[in-house]
Structure formats: C-alpha cells, structure tokens
Structure 1
C-alpha cells in the first residue's frame, strides 16, 4: 500500500514538474548542449534524490545553454558586419525579451516593429549609426503618436548599451540625441461635491470596496487586485502591500494578444512594499466582503477557486486587469460625472494629503513611489491649486513601514 502511494505521489510530481521525470531509483532531467557548429546535443542527467534537486539542475543547464547561444550568436553577427535593423531584431528577441515581463515585451515589440523599423528609410551597418541618423529616425517616429519619440529613444538606448557591452560598437550615441520628454500625466480632480456623488452612487456597487481602497488608501489597481484577506490586520487596522496582479497575456508575433490572463508579481518598486493604516470605515467594508465571499464559498463548494483574494469574481477567480476601470467608467457615465480611472482616484488621494499639508516625503511613502522625485514630478502643479479643497476622511493615513526590510 505504501509503495502504491509513493508511485502515485511520483506520478503527481511528474505531472506537476514536467521538466523532470522519475526513472528506476532516482530523478532525471533532459539536457541540451550547444556545440560550436550551432547544433544542439541532447541528453539526460540523473542521480537526483528529489524532484526539486533535478529541477534546479535543469534550470542551471538551461541558463548555460542560453548563455552559450548568445555567445555564438554575437560571434556570428560580429563576423557578418551586422546591419542596424538586423541587430535590433536580434537584440529584442534574444536578449531584451528574456529579461522583461510580457506586458513590457508587448509595448517594446510595438515600439520596434511598428514605430522604429518602418521609419528606417535606409538601413545601415550598426558600426556606422550616428547621432544624426538616430535623430532623423526618432523624428519620423515621433509624428505617429505622442509617446513614440520617448519610447523609441528609450528602447534604442537599451539596445545600443547592450551593443557596447557585447563589443559591436565602442560608443552609445543615443544619449546625445534629441530628448523627447515623457508626456506629462493629466490629473483629474473631482470636487468635494462630486466625490460625495461618486461615493453615494458606488455604495451599492460591487466595486465599492475597491474604490475606497484607491481613494482613501492610495493603492494602485494591481495592488488592490492582489490583496488577500491575510494581508489585513483587523486588530491593528493595517494592510500590508506585498504583491500586485498584472496582465499576463499570451502573445503571438510579439504583440498580438492570443489569450488574456493575470499573474502575481512583486509590487512596482521596492518602496511599494509597505504597511498602511486603514480607516475604520474601509476596514468595515473589508469585513463585509469577507462575509460575502465566505457565503459564496459555502454555496459553490468545490466550484469555488479559493486564492484568498479580496477582489475576485463570484467563483473566486481574479478579475481581468480592465474590469475595475470599466466598472468605474460605467458608474461615472450613469451619474453624470467626468470619466475617472482607478489611477485618478489614487491621484485624488495624494491631492487630499497635499491640501492637508502632509509632507511630500510621507506622501511618497504612502503611495509607494520609488523616490520623492517621482511624487514631485506628478504633483508639483497640484500643490499650487489652493482652490481645490477636498474634505479629508480622517488623520490615520500614515505609513507604518515601507520597503522590504523588517
């Protein structure tokens, strides 16, 4: 019986960890080695006592394979005196894409394949790329949309920095090109009266709690979606921000979305790990949400997918990343209010603090910005608008702790 249970356990582990397999008396994993002629030699490695050891070894082999692949590709491209466009394609697919998230890859792919490459009137060898050539390219791209110049220059800078690192060129010309400032974010602030209308209309809305968390705790949309009931301390009335839910689309051809999905990630910056005090009224709504979800779980039983999320669909699965903004847009339209996004509610939270005279360094900590300069960049104009006074909910919005330490 015990032997049978062990076999079942091994079978389950094999299904769960597809990169490893059990054979005889130990765990194995497949191996691959890139040879000098660019062909791949396949094999297997065993002798591991646990699937975790085998899996760790597998990923080490994978990393060595990728490093060797890059080494040989770089050597080949150097020998062929690579063209600029060819290098950008190679760099994006084989270097940059391996170190970024799916959504960043989607933006980068659009920038490269839709904005930069089509605007290269004449491709030239990488070693002959000059400041003047790049300025002309970026000027053409910048006419397509507001952000094209800024995003294009940013992507080119990363590519040319890697080109220097790999020895293709000796100098990165991008920093000397004409800068394209990032479009300044527009902050829409609702008046005290309109906030009352919004909250009154939202009270019976399924997204009421999420709106309170954005407006009175200043949380980002992804942070709200990633909250779990275990993050709340009901006795101390605090919440720990330690994750976010972000889009994780399955891409085709670099930037066409085949399938939508979400995944957990660390918060946006290191300072985004923080513990915040939560107003009593918001904590009461969290408790109401918990009771509602417990009822759903009891009713749906095995059909409820429990991830512990505060913000979830009736079956426990996470919402799509666009669901909150769509609900907020509908609410504003139905009540004659200007359209506002979740990020707009976060901006209003910051404005409330500014108008109450809370120091910028504290506001930066509450919002989880990477530095106080980010906070200043967003809100320097708001600080001078004394006519937009919004009632502050209470004086408990002070961060307990920020960052990953402690």
Structure 2
C-alpha cells in the first residue's frame, strides 16, 4: 500500500481515510449558501491535492458569478465584469458566429488594451475614449466593433443595476467602414460569365448576379425551394459557419462546422422571380446531382442541396469565393466576391430606377434604412451605371415578395 502513503512531508490539502485519500469540498447552492463535503477514491495524496485545486477554482468561479448576478453595485472590476458578461450572459443567447466575433472583440481588442483596470462603477466616457483610441489603431473596423461590444456589455450593467448610466453613449463614435462596391462593365460581365460557364460554379455565380443572394443563402438552397412552373425561388434558410469555442478559452476556435439557419433577418424570407438563364442552369445541376446519386448510392449524402460536392455534402464556406478569385485572376478582371455580385445586382436595380423599398425587399435587408446606408453613394453618382442585364432581369412583383 505504498502508493497510498503521503509523498512528502509538506502541508497537504488532502487526508487519508479508510482505504483512499480524500479532500474537502465546497459547493455553492442556488440560494448562495455553501455546502461542505468530501471527495475520495484517490490513490495518492498528490492526486487528491490536484483534485482539490480544481474544485476550489471551480468554486471561486461559481462564487464570483453568483456575486455578479445577485449583488447590486458590487466592487467588481471592469475586466472581471466583461469576462463574466461575455462568458455567462452574452454567449448564452447568441449564435456561434456572433459569439466568435464577440470573443475577438473582448479578448483581442478590448482586454489587451486595458492599460489599467478600474472598478466598473468608476468607468466613465473619458476612460472608455482613451481605451477605444488604442483599440481603433488595430484595424479600420476595430473602433466601431469595440465600442459596439462595450455598449452591449454596459447596457446590461445598467439593466442589472451595477451602474446607473451607460458611459458608452457619451464616447466618440467610430464610423462603420462602408463596403467597396465594384461594378463591372458590360464587357467584363460577359467575360466573367463566359469563364464561369466552363466552371463548376456557374449556377452559384448566376444566383449571386441575377438574384442578389447572399453566399449563405446560395449554399442553403434546395431543389424543393424552386417552383419550376412559375420560375420562382423561396429563400427560407442559409448555411453559416459554426465555430466551436470552449468556454473560458478566449477567442481560440477549436473547430469549424457548418449549420443550417434561418435567413439573416425576418425580411430575408422572400420569394424571387428567377431569370430563365438561371432556371436552365438549375435543370443541368439537377441532372448532375441525380447522376451522382446513382453513381454513389448509399454513400451519397442526400440533403437536396443544389450547391454541393460530388458526394452531396456541402462545400466549405470559402469555396465559392476562392473559385471567384481564381476566375477573376485568370481573366484579368477586378477581384470580386459573392457579396460583390449582390452589390452589382443592387446597383443595376438602382440604375433601372426600381423604388428603394422594393430593392430592400429583394435583397432581404432588415429595413430600407440599411439599403440606403449601403447604396446612398451609388444613388448620388453623376454618371449612370451601365445596364447590362437582359429582359429576364426583372424584379419580382410586390405580392411575390415575402
């Protein structure tokens, strides 16, 4: 039984009882009281000591969370509050991609630039302005994103009565970086589509250019979403990244996955008329998919996606943009992304003098204000944008827009 004896004479957190080593435990109850006990079954005192340290750390973390959740105007430090708010409040109610962005803002932008930590109740606009000046130096969008996440955190602090007012509202605003809109000329569009027609991504590129769909919406389309008689498509889902971040690991991503979700906003549920050229290409894709099903049999993952690998599984989130990058590079065209195709779709509608409210509905924006923010510069240009779509490029009737 030598393995059960004390390894050293130094003070231990464990004790020997019966046939094994034990250590004391503390468990925080829902009412804030502490329940004491013991945990045994360890072969050595070192094992028991390590278990004690782990249990003690967990108790302290739980106790800190309880204090923050139940005490008003505590002496909590800003850093501790931000970590608690992000891990135990914000992360519990948002999707994984939003959590990933929030994790980056907290752990990579804000916390590393806290030159000195202060109690939450003493945080004011001057303190936050000094912090955000440092944050804004990191990238063009860092100031805006840092201020946005601080506003969410301290707004919650007001609701839970840790502070009386939100100091972020009095800080200097940072402009959101406007998207750079590239509109190809008629000849360049022809060159792009000619090259794309020889690739495996022709249908996806047509859906971006002729229907203004987001990348995730294109990836989420299924053959059952199309009405082949009316030549329409119902947008009712998107594919999104599903990054896995373990709690307490900062912004480190353990693994990536893909997940089906509802569209970006309630207004993104919509029915669109699909140009004939797109429907013809869709029929070709359906034939290809059916051929792959017969070829692979039970090895084919049949989820009815129109954009998928040969085995039916989804492409990666970067695959379509990577394909577009290669097409543009090989054909001496300006670099354009799937979202760039969507911007081109919108600018053509503007040139055709389609009402802004209808453009907003076609794009699935949350509001007309969003559409105006993105495209006000385009609408104010003196020179008209070249119209390059044929008669098939006609916006859907109002009663067909969800």
Q: Distance in 2 between matches of 1:40 and 1:95?
A: 28
1:130 equivalenced with 2:124 (yes/no)? yes
- RMSD of the alignment, in Å? 2.2
Q: Residue 251 of structure 2 aligns with which residue?
A: 255
Q: What's the TM-score, normalizing by structure 1?
A: 0.81
**Superposition pairs for residues 288-299 of structure 1, below 5 Å?**
288-299=284-295
For the pair 1:151 / 2:145, whether they are aligned, the reply is: yes
Task: Structure 2: give runs of 5+ residues left out of the alignment.
Answer: 1-28, 38-61
Structure-2 residue corresponding to 1:398: 396
Alignment of 1:238-317 (within 5 A): 238-252=232-246, 253-317=249-313
Q: Which residue of 2 aligns with 1:8?
A: none
Deviation at residue 141 of structure 1 after TM alignment:
0.8
Match of 1:363 among 324, 339, 359: 359
Shift of 1:342: 0.2
Q: CA deviation at 1:390?
A: 2.5
What SS does structure 2 have at the residue aligned with 1:92? helix
1:84 aligns with 2:81: no
Structure 2 contact 268–366 (Cα < 8 Å) conserved:
yes
2:25 is matched with none
CA contact (8 A) 1:272 1:367 kept: yes
Shift of 1:79: 7.7
Question: Superposed, which structure 2 residues align to 1:338-349 within 5 Å?
Answer: 338-349=334-345
Q: Is the 8 A contact 1:267 1:273 kept in 2?
A: yes
Does the CA contact (< 8 Å) of 1:242 and 1:267 recur in 2? Answer: yes
Give the structure 1 partner of residue 99 of structure 2: 105
- Does the Cα contact within 8 Å between 2:351 and 2:384 map onto a contact in 1? no
Q: 1:180-220: CA deviations, max 9, x gaps?
A: 01011111111111000000001011000000000000000
| TM-score, scaled relative to structure 2 | 0.82
Q: What is the CA–CA distance in structure 2 between the aligned matches of 1:229 and 1:340, rounded to whole Å?
A: 27
Count of matched residue pairs: 346
Secondary structure in structure 2 of the residue aligned to 1:357:
coil
Rg comparison, structure with higher value: 2
Unaligned 5+ runs, structure 1: 1-32, 42-67
Relative to structure 1, the CA distance from residue 312 to residue 173 in structure 2 (aligned partners, 3 Å threshold; closer, same or farther) is: same
Q: Check whether the contact 1:221–1:343 (CA below 8 A) recurs between aligned residues.
A: yes
Q: For residue 258 of structure 1, give the secondary structure of its aligned residue in structure 2.
A: coil
Which residue number corresponds to residue 142 of structure 1? 136
